[in-house]
Structure formats: C-alpha cells, structure tokens
Structure 1
Amino acid sequence: MPTHHAAVPPRRGPGRPKLGVVAREVTLLPRHWEWLAGQAGGASMALRRLVEQASREASGADGARGASTGDEA
C-alpha cells in the first residue's frame, strides 16, 4: 500500500524566484535606452524607480486635488 506524504513544493532550479514580475515590451527612443543603460541597476531598476516616484507624486496630487475641490469618494 503506497504511503501518502504531505504535498512538497517542487524543487526550484537556478534563477530568480517568481516575485510577481511581468515582462512586457517597452518602446523607447535610442537616447532613452542609452540613458537607462547608464543608470545604477540597469534599465529595469531605473524604470521601476521612475514608476514608483511618479505613482507617489500622482497619489499625493490626487489627494490634494480631491481635498481642494471638496470631492469625497
């Protein structure tokens, strides 16, 4: 009679762990790629940093905009 063991997650091979990262294509001008290549951490890290910064600034502006107009969501 076979013995049943608790489910063991499959062994992971080499490489990066899955962190919910989604790879997508981005179209930029050559000068943009050159600038990104010169940034610390490379293009991906620079883009993530820029998106996070813009997101924080936009959420602050959205909150200020809602408060100034009296909108309550």
Structure 2
Amino acid sequence: MGCRERAAKTDLLRIVAAGDEYVPDDRGTLPGRGAYLHPATVCLDLAVRRRAFPRAFRGGGPLDTAALRGHMEKAERQVL
C-alpha cells in the first residue's frame, strides 16, 4: 500500500480502522476491512502522503495514525 512492493502476507502488517484511528492488527483477528503495509515508518509515510488509507478503507477522510506510527517505531527499535 505504501511503497507498492509485493511481499508475502506474513511479512506485512495488517491495519484496520477502529473508531477514529488506524490501528495495527498483529494477530489478523480484528473485525472489519484490513489493509496491508510493510512494518516500516517509511512505508507508512508514503501511504499517508499518497492518501492510501481513505481509499483502502473506503472512508470519508483520513483518520489518526499516531497509534500506528508508535507501533512501527517500537518494532523498528526492537530490530536494531
């Protein structure tokens, strides 16, 4: 979605719209429409800049990505 590169589903992070924000779905069990993104802030930034989230979720407008960004930054710090 963000960088538009293909990858195995297991290598991607599922994202769902919950209330007024986008949240990560690590287990893939949250209800609702999901979108997949590489678990990297670079891909998140590209998706936000391209306005990919409202299109993917067929929503009216952009929602808050703070929780999603925090999750990805934490995951990146654990890898390093």
Quick check: which one's helix share is greater?
1
Which one has a bigger Cα radius of gyration?
1
Query: TM-score, with normalisation over the residues of structure 2?
Result: 0.29
- From the two aligned structures, give the one with the greater strand fraction: 2
Specify which structure has the bigger relative contact order, considering alpha-carbon pairs within 8 angstroms and separated by 6 or more residues. Answer: 2
In the superposition, the TM-score normalised over structure 1's length comes to: 0.31
